[in-house]
Amino acid sequence: MPIANDIVRAARSAGLAIPAFNVPYLPMVEPVVQAIVDQDAFALVATARLEWVKFESCGPAAVLAEFARWRRPGYVGLHLDHVPVIDEDNQAVDYLPIIREALDLGYGSVMVDGSRLDLEGNIRCTRQVAEMAHQAGAPCEAELGAILGHEAGPLPPYEELFASGRGFTEPAEAARFVRETGCDWLSVAAGNIHGAISGVLKDQKKVEARLDLARIEALSRAAGVPLVLHGGSGIRQEYVLAAVQKGIAKINIASEIRQAYEAPLRGGKGVAAAQQAVYERTGWLLRDYLGLAGSRQRLAPGA
């Protein structure tokens, strides 16, 4: 089976993107994997630190154990998503032991998020994690720019954010960042926002975001590595598909399937109904939103 970096690079060359589906609840793993298999696609199952701090995924070992029950080699990989240096509550995180644990467990790829640091600090932390990941044979994802949404409280009006370019990744900084850190994939900010994770806001439909496509194209040229789109839920389809042609090779999707899982539970319908909702939503995302049904052999031939 090709390693995650090979597949993400193959996606970039083919004008496709690898979805990474975040699983804040362990019972989501089975329907996500089954939908990926049934759509004959390739995708990543992802877990981020906030999903075991603020939700119920319980940590890297628990996600791995559940993933191992349902994994289908050739269809899915396991990714450690956002491990922040400074978290959404502005608290320092002991991030290196978390990433080391995931690598020792066998995660295929890892992400360090130093985006709340200044540029020098982000470079320093990312370089350290990239070296650690590469020693384990895994690619390292990093983030440059400010992708808002996980912080407590409501966002400023979206149109105000987009017009100001607040937090958008700068191409010149991206070139330097990749050169000096050795990261393999770069998460960028170009109009995308994370889904809310706190209070009543976490149940609300995300703002329909759009993307600065010219900036994404410039970032792709400057960085020279596959770009990652975080906050993939809720972005208008035409922007997502165009961004893939401009250099986005991995798309993180969380709110779409988390809310699909939570809604039946709130209605008293039970875990089986929630899992079915996740299966249906994941299939729709792969087939109708991203157009990835039947794409697996283009990314992992012979797998």
The pLDDT value given to residue 232: 73
Spatial distance between the Cα atoms of 125 and 303, rounded to a whole number of angstroms: 34
Spatial distance between the Cα atoms of 280 and 285, rounded to a whole number of angstroms: 9
* Average pLDDT along the chain: 90
CATH architecture assignment, domain 4-299: Alpha-Beta Barrel (3.20)
Spatial distance between the Cα atoms of 212 and 192, rounded to a whole number of angstroms: 9
The pLDDT value given to residue 291: 95
The pTM score is: 0.91
Quick one: which H or E segment has residue 18?
strand 18-22
In this predicted model, what pLDDT tens digit does every residue of 135-145 receive, in sequence order?
A: 999 999 999 98
In this predicted model, what pLDDT tens digit does every residue of 228-277 receive, in sequence order?
A: 998 877 788 999 999 999 999 999 999 899 999 999 999 999 999 999 99
In this predicted model, what pLDDT tens digit does every residue of 10-21 receive, in sequence order?
A: 999 999 999 999
Residue 195 corresponds to which tokens in the numbers above? 């889904």
In this predicted model, what pLDDT tens digit does every residue of 181-238 receive, in sequence order?
A: 999 999 999 887 765 544 434 555 556 677 999 999 999 999 999 999 988 777 889 9
Spatial distance between the Cα atoms of 105 and 238, rounded to a whole number of angstroms: 38
The pLDDT value given to residue 199: 46
Spatial distance between the Cα atoms of 111 and 284, rounded to a whole number of angstroms: 26
Nearest Cα residue to 8 out of 167, 129, 183 = 183
Task: Sketch the domain layout of the chain as residue ranges.
Answer: 4-299
The pLDDT value given to residue 32: 98
The pLDDT value given to residue 4: 87
In this predicted model, what pLDDT tens digit does every residue of 81-90 receive, in sequence order?
A: 999 999 888 8
Spatial distance between the Cα atoms of 131 and 147, rounded to a whole number of angstroms: 25
